Amino acid sequence: MRIIFIIVLFINFFSRAAFSGGISDEVKKIYALKGIENAQWGLSVKYVDSGKDLISLNQNQNLVPASILKIFVTAAALEYLGPDYSFKTKLYYSGEIKKGTLLGNIYIVGGGDPSLGSSRVLGALSFNKVFDKWTDSLKRVGIKRVKGCIYADDFLFSGLPVPGSWAWEDIGNYYAAWPSALSINDNIYKVYFKPAGKVGGKADVIKIFPNVPKLKFTNFMETGPEGSGDNGYIFNMPKNYRAVLRGTIPLGSEKFSIKGAIPDPPIFCAEYFKKYLKAQVISVKGKALRVLKQKRYSQKKLLTEIESPPLKNIVFAANKKSFNLYAETLLRHLAVSNGRKGNLDSGLYTLEKFLSSNGIDISEMKLKDACGLSRLNTVKAKNFTNFLIRIYNKKYFDVFYNSLVSPGERGATGHIKKFAIGTFLENNIRIKSGSLSGVRAYSGYFRTKKNKLVAFTSIMNNYSIQSSEIDEIHTNLLLKIAEEY
């Protein structure tokens, strides 16, 4: 009933109010609704061709944007690197090969490819095929034994692995996987549980895949009601190998998996390669280690290199799947491409300079990450809308536009796959959504029934009604604008 009441209120508002951009009495009535009355809402809707306001509401209010923040960093990457840019991961060896024995070391040199071994990016080499290719390169030059070590080189990026403002509840889970210059398999692993036979019973760990050496669990995971879904959390920190499992997984299945963040992706990559070589009857006497001092590889011998799919494919996955790791990795590449250190602070500095150079007012903007997971990010709704208008004439616009979600398309995920389904907007909107607890945000483009392209942003913080009701409000809001304009 509440949803119906809200929809009716919106219809009444739009039947009496012109889209003047002002705050009407009707909008104040919406704010008076229980669950919204204490929320903060910023809204900015404009024509793309003229920049004219259609409707605005608190568009200068600083709000937590969640994942719509990704549109900044993905567009910046397209501008600085180009849609067809690719990242390279290289495999070298040092020393000599004598009678099938390498009297030296193997080096895996990360080039910051977030798609290495990923199943999310079109054209990316799969997890096992990465190790197949590396193994074949050793066989090709006659290496049957390695007397030295396997080194992981992740020096392209530096600094803290994750922002200090990320929540403890998030760190350790797949969506907070830390960006590394040597990533593999999206830096995630799966933990498989066997649910108990009753609600409240302990859920036992069956296995993890891929296996992460030394990783141990303190398991408090319980079994929730049937159909309750994934309510499990992995509490862990980067480079820590004692994780805590809490929450619930549902009753009624033989096994159920949740995803975690690999504690140290470069070391994992080197360890897994050593194990893979052993299975291919290539022994490695030394350990899997991290390069501790930056090296030049001019004197090393290149075995092979793996080139990522074009950047446009990675941007496509970053926006459509809202994958945090890709946004954070691209942020660090922004810094490197501009001659700065590949760390969080340099990346944010470069991103802010990019926004400013494109006419975006950053004077009150606060950015703590690139993916929107931090609750300390604050951005104005109009910053996003103005940015969308600004990049409309960029040569990479079509790539960027197509990376946004069309709710009716195959593969649309999360709550946005139901957004405006069955309405005129279903095939006329491209949208990036964002959500955290108490945060719902939407930014993108749609065409009106008069074929006018509109850019829009809506950010709502601290509401207390169901998020599905917020989606319904926005569906009807944008649909009404599409019908009128």
For the chain (485 residues), the mean pLDDT of every run of 10, in chain order, is 46 39 51 83 94 91 98 98 98 97 98 97 97 98 98 96 94 97 98 97 96 96 96 96 98 95 98 97 97 90 98 97 97 98 98 98 98 98 98 98 91 81 91 96 96 96 92 85 85
Helix (H) or strand (E) holding 388: helix 381-390
Whole-number Å distance between alpha carbons of 235 and 248:
14
Give residue 25's pLDDT: 52
**Residue 357 in 3-state DSSP?**
helix
In the chain, where does the domain assigned CATH 3.40.710.10 lie? Answer: 2-82+313-484
For domain 86-309, give the CATH number.
3.50.80.20
DSSP code at position 147:
S
CA-to-CA separations, 44 to 52, 70, 373, in angstroms, rounded: 10, 18, 22
Would strands 150-153 and 145-146 be described as parallel, antiparallel, or unpaired? Answer: unpaired
Contact residues for 262 (Cβ-Cβ < 8 A; gap 6+): 177, 184, 185, 187, 188, 189, 212, 268
Give residue 417's pLDDT: 84
- Other beta carbons within 10 Å of 17: 14
Give residue 324's pLDDT: 98
Helix, strand, coil percent values for the chain (each to nearest 5)? 35, 25, 40
Give residue 29's pLDDT: 64
- Measured between its terminal Cα atoms, the distance across the chain in Å is 29
**Residue 111 in 3-state DSSP?**
coil
CA-to-CA separations, 115 to 79, 347, 359, in angstroms, rounded: 19, 19, 32
CA-to-CA separations, 348 to 90, 270, 331, in angstroms, rounded: 27, 30, 7
Kindly report the backbone phi and psi dihedral angles of residue 149, in degrees, each rounded to the nearest multiple of 5, phi listed first: -115, 170
CA-to-CA separations, 82 to 94, 245, 308, in angstroms, rounded: 34, 41, 14
In the chain, where does the domain assigned CATH 3.50.80.20 lie? Answer: 86-309
Give residue 21's pLDDT: 40
Whole-number Å distance between alpha carbons of 177 and 183:
10
Amino acid at 324: N
- Other beta carbons within 10 Å of 300: 19
Question: 419: exposed, middle or buried (C-beta count within 10 Å: 0-12, 13-18, 19+)?
Answer: buried
- For the CA atoms of 267, 272, 277, 278, the dihedral, rounded to the nearest 10 degrees, stands at 110
**Beta carbons of 119 and 145 less than 8 angstroms apart:** no
**Beta carbons of 438 and 74 less than 8 angstroms apart:** no
Whole-number Å distance between alpha carbons of 30 and 6:
8
For domain 2-82+313-484, give the CATH number.
3.40.710.10
- Other beta carbons within 10 Å of 28: 10
Kindly report the backbone phi and psi dihedral angles of residue 68, in degrees, each rounded to the nearest multiple of 5, phi listed first: -65, -15
Where helices occur in 213-323 by DSSP H, the ranges are 265-279, 311-320
Helix (H) or strand (E) holding 235: strand 231-235
Greatest Cα pair distance, the chain, in angstroms, is: 87
**Beta carbons of 90 and 109 less than 8 angstroms apart:** yes
